[in-house]
A and B are shown apart, each in its own frame.
Chain A
Amino acid sequence: MSDIGRMVPNEKPEHPYVMVSYAGSIFGNFSTMFCSGCGYGIIGQIFTRIFEDERLDPHLFPTIIGIGCYSQILLNVHAKSQKILSLHGRAPPVATGIKLANPKMKPIIFSGDGDCLGIGGNHFIHLCRRNLDCVVFIFNNSIYAMTGGQGAPTTLYGASSTTTPYKMFENRIDGVNLALAAGATYVARTTVAHPRTYIKYFKKALKHKGTSVIEVITPCVTYFGRKNLDSLGAENLGVEGAKMDQGLKMLDWIKRNTVRINQAKFMTEEELFNKYVIGEFRYEPNKPEYSEEYAIIQKLAMGGK
């Protein structure tokens, strides 16, 4: 056993859900490896809550985790959840193998923006295309944070990063639009600043039969907040920005920089530039699901009716 527990004071846990998380079950306290102000603590907490409250069978809901800062989330997710750390960007094919070899399971995929929309973009597209029964989380902090703040495919226009020190000038990729185009049947976007909708969407995704894609906007204070001004996304309004070097400032910026889908319908493209539209984009519960379709093929091949 490692010494992580000794480094953290063994204080009384403030939250009952802490004790059922992986770190809580070992060390008895809420230990995370995240920087202050990071949103992944909230995400891990929400996952643990739902896993506990919904009484998910740990044998049927394996968690497949890609590579990124959020890989450390495994300390904060439910202790009983069976966790598989996969390769960078390759979580969707691992989930495909699991789901098809054991159709009773419903894999939950944790992936980041660089993981799912960068290196693993192709796998993500084809997972959505097949409508395989699983839940995909894209944790979007719009930066490659684990390696030290390089530009990501989701970095906002005009933002600064270590590989775009002057200004980001590439067009960003929109995970939700990609999932919609590829054919995912439940697509939603939320942020860690809206935990109630997050919980609602997650519960809905667990009950949905088909690929559910939930993009979660999460702050990275250390590599995104400190280097950028909170006027990002509001350049055309002539706002004078301040640095987002604290967690709350960044959460505040996320709240200001998001638009609800109902409002977005009445806004022009220029007004939506560099903004995040949140809400539910598609919910089609009756589309055929891949493993069920494959079971029909198997029956056909076996000579049944």
Chain B
Amino acid sequence: MLSNVNGKRFLKPGRHLMMGNVAMSEGALSAGLSYFGGYPITPSTEVIEHLAIRLPEVGGVCMQMEDELASINSVIGASLTGAKAMTATSGPGLSLMVETISMAANLEIPFVFCDVQRAGPGSAGPVTEPHHNDIGLVRFSGHGEFQVIAIAPMNCQELFDLTITAFNFAEIYRCPVFILSDAYLGHLHEIVNIPPKEEILKRIVKRELPEDIIKKFSYKDDISGKYIIPKPPVIGTDYCPGIFLHMAHNYEGLPSPKLTQFMEVLVEKINSNKDKICITEKYKLEDAEIVVVGYGLPIRASYRAVDLARDEGIKVGILRLVTVWPFPDAIVKDSVKDAKAIIVPELNYTGIIAEQVERVSKLGMPIIKIPKVGVFHHPDEILNAIREVAK
């Protein structure tokens, strides 16, 4: 369904100066976005503003719905017809949308959710300050158990590239995929290198109808023991279950009393593919005794701090989580096994990812949190923490 009537879908290849929210919208358009349902909320408003211009140009639809509940539900409806669909919001909007996320996870409806995080709790706080507070909410969003994928870019180039990856993950794994941006990253202007159209087209996963039209939902193959995820069903074709029933169902979509097996498929279809989903970046980790673990925008300060510390002779490296959920247990465990201490600079107070790191690291491993809300980490703050540990 990639309509590119007049060649306006792809930007001219080359260097563009773009705002983060715009880079993400362009990434989505390149990935084949054809429906956007949203509701204005600072700091994600530029997404809907940009797509209101760009989507009709390529034959897509950009809808400003009456509220967040309506926007996410219209995204579900559009995705059911085979359109690649997305919504963008911030923390308060996410809180409203979680019920539908739970339903979409059950029905395995693919969609991409951009969360431009802002300071919370509450809805009338400093709305243009970043705060990675939704990182826990997206993992446990909605009632019921299910696994989501969340990706945390750190610059505008990644907002473009990883949005395409997010759409691919949504198509392949059929689960809600979150892009965790924040107020500063969304409003940051940076140079984005747009690759040529052919290169982008090679990267994207298209929505196609499969040959086997009986199996419409994920299931565990009894013989191989693997979790098989068929292509998403499309209404208006024969590849569609009689009823989209959001309760425990089998691969045909018929109600099933086997709740445990249903849960197993929903969760394990993601967990068993962690090696393909979990993207991480390692920086000077080979001989590191101190490991900085982080994600998103705050990790940019750590690179500078690590370089300075290396000049002083301190063996320190960075493990950057590009995919935050599902949590890359094995990779983190492996990276921190020889470490003396772990530093987790996070843009939230409680240290939601620090808890996860604590879970997979050795017992008694010192974990130094550097909590910050609303402001960036200065490289000096991380450097001081490194020096303190190295003493």
Contacts and interface: CB of A to CB of B under 8 A. Distances in A.
Interface of A: 1-2, 22, 59-60, 62, 64, 74, 79, 82-87, 90, 92-102, 104-105, 122-123, 125-126, 294, 297-298, 300-303
Interface stretch (B72-80, B196-204, B283-291): B72-80
B67 interface: yes
B51 to A, nearest CB: 12
A97 B38 CA distance: 11
Given A90-B100, A93-B73, A105 B236 contact: yes
Interface in B368-384: none
Contacts of B255: 2
Contacts of A85: 243-246
Interface in B21-63: 34-35, 37, 53, 56-59, 61, 63
A158 to B, nearest CB: 33
B85 A101 contact: yes
Interface centre among A64, A87, A93, A102 (most CB of B within 10 A): A93
Contacts of B237: 59
B183 to A, nearest CB: 27
Contacts of B70: 90, 92-93, 96, 122-123, 126
A79 B242 contact: yes
A100 B37 CA distance: 11
A105 B235 CA distance: 10
A221 to B, nearest CB: 27
B69 A100 contact: no
A3 B316 CA distance: 63
Contacts of B75: 97
A297 B65 contact: no
Contact of B73 (A2, A97, A297): A97
8 contacts: A85-B243, A85-B246, A86-B73, A97-B76, A100-B78, A123-B70, A126-B65, A298-B59
A93 B69 contact: yes
Interface in B236-277: 236-237, 240, 242-246, 254-255, 257
Contacts of B66: 122-123, 125-126
Interface residues of B, number: 46
A93 B244 contact: no
A1 to B, nearest CB: 7
A303 B73 contact: no
Contact of B74 (A93, A104, A302): A93
B254 A101 contact: no
A74 B59 contact: no
A294 B81 contact: no
A142 to B, nearest CB: 25
Contacts of B190: none
A101 B57 contact: no
Given A96-B70, A125-B66, 17 more contacts: A62-B235, A85-B243, A95-B77, A97-B73, A97-B76, A100-B78, A101-B35, A101-B82, A105-B81, A123-B66, A123-B73, A294-B56, A297-B56, A298-B59, A301-B53, A302-B6, A303-B6
Interface centre among B53, B74, B77, B240 (most CB of A within 10 A): B77
B78 A98 contact: yes
B71 interface: yes
Contact of B67 (A22, A94, A122, A297): A122
Interface in B75-103: 75-83, 85, 99-100, 103
B5 interface: yes
Nearest to A2: B255
B93 to A, nearest CB: 14
A62 B236 contact: yes
A67 to B, nearest CB: 10
A238 B327 CA distance: 70
A258 to B, nearest CB: 32
Contacts of A125: 66
A85 to B, nearest CB: 5
A87 B104 CA distance: 10
A102 B236 contact: yes
A97 B103 CA distance: 16
Interface string B322-353: 00000000000000000000000000000000
Contacts of B63: 96-97, 100
B74 A74 contact: no
Nearest to B63: A100
Nearest to A100: B61
Contacts of B6: 302-303
Nearest to B256: A2
Q: Which 4 pairs show the lowest CB-CB distances between chains A and B?
A: A97-B77, A97-B74, A301-B56, A93-B73
Contacts of B240: 82
A219 to B, nearest CB: 26
B235 A82 contact: yes
A86 B79 CA distance: 13
Given A59-B236, A62-B235, A303-B6, A96 B85 contact: no
B207 to A, nearest CB: 12
A272 to B, nearest CB: 31
A60 B236 contact: yes
B365 to A, nearest CB: 43
A297 B56 CA distance: 7
